[in-house]
Amino acid sequence: MKKIRWGIVGPGFIANKFADALSNVDDAVLFAVSSTNVSKAEDFARIHNIPKVFETYEQMAISDEIDAVYISTIHPFHKPSAEIFIKNKKHVLCEKPLCVNANEARKLQSLAKENNVFLMEAMWTAFLPAIECAKKLVSDGVIGEVKSTRASFCYRMEPSEDPKLFDNSLAGGSLLDVGVYGLYFSSLFSKGKPECISSVSRVENGVDLQMEVLLRYPSNVLSLVSSAIDLEKEEDAVIYGTEGMITIPHFYRADTLYVKKGDSQKCIEKPFLGNGFEEEIIHFTECVNNNLSQSPIHPLEKSIEILEIMDEIRKNDGIIYADSDN
């Protein structure tokens, strides 16, 4: 396969994890980094031995030494950043959520199609072996017919530690930060789009600190999704079937499943490569080298579907991102 030459856009915390993972993938090479803060990009380049630092996104976008970019900027900047690279025929892997709302994502989808480039949301959970295992167990009928799911991703963060999470103008809050993982998980085991969405949230200064979402799907599956950024709770997911249940600790970075049927319980270990990002990078590389327009595992329609759900939740709870929803 052709070796993909990568650039990183937005060298923040999560980009460090991506850069580390990229070094473990044979068909990928990290060539450049770019940031609105040039000194930050230079520091990042030194840490990860990156040959090139671009002072602007536009300079990176027109470079013929870059095939694809990983975008890990703050949520509201995903769309404008991605547009620059898509228009210059670069393939794009963009951190979740792909955009702040579904309308933005549809525009990116159209732009990618127009420019014949591969665009995918970096929902790394989708590519973990444990999640693939859970999907197969369900499709094989191991726990019978799925009736309900639950997914919880909650943690405690102080505003001083990560101010953007608590800033409405930067699309902060638990829903877009970690709730998106639970909504994605619930969609995997429920046929069709939800018929009913109910939510309740604890909001301060236009930011949801905690949220509980209940969804009913056409298959009559009920799903509960919990998220929080100022509260420590469980971080697990459960799939409840008519003949058993599957519990996945830390489901968003899963490497273990527990299958319970009656009084018996079986532990299944499914470790991921490296830090877990390798799986999505390998998949992205395969898609690009095979000239695919969409990921067969995590297509853009799935990303848009989740954004539509989040749009509905925010509408229900009166959460408006003034700088993005107009």
Domains assigned to the chain: 4-123 (3.40.50.720), 129-271+306-317 (3.30.360.10)
Average pLDDT score over residue span 27-52: 97
CA separation for the pair 317, 180 (Å, rounded): 16
Cis peptide before 159 (omega within 30 of 0): no
Does residue 143 register a pLDDT over 80? yes
CA separation for the pair 125, 324 (Å, rounded): 26
Query: What single DSSP character describes residue 296?
Result: S
Q: What is the pLDDT of residues 125-134, one digit of tens each?
A: 999 999 999 9
For 219, the token pair is: 């298959």
Q: Which residues of 274-286 are buried (b: 16+ CB within 10 A; e: fewer)?
A: bebbbbbbbbbbe
Q: What is the pLDDT of residues 189-234, one digit of tens each?
A: 998 899 999 999 999 999 999 999 999 999 899 999 999 999 999 8
**Mean pLDDT over each residue of the chain, to the nearest integer:** 97
CA separation for the pair 166, 159 (Å, rounded): 6
Query: Quick one: which of 157, 131, 156 has its CA closest to 251?
Result: 131
CA separation for the pair 158, 110 (Å, rounded): 38
Residue 191: predicted pLDDT: 84
Backbone angles phi, psi at 72, to 5 degrees: -130, 40
CA separation for the pair 107, 205 (Å, rounded): 29
Residue 291: predicted pLDDT: 96
Does residue 286 register a pLDDT over 80? yes
Average pLDDT score over residue span 171-199: 97
For 259, the token pair is: 């299958």
Confidence of residue 326 (pLDDT cuts 50, 70, 90): low
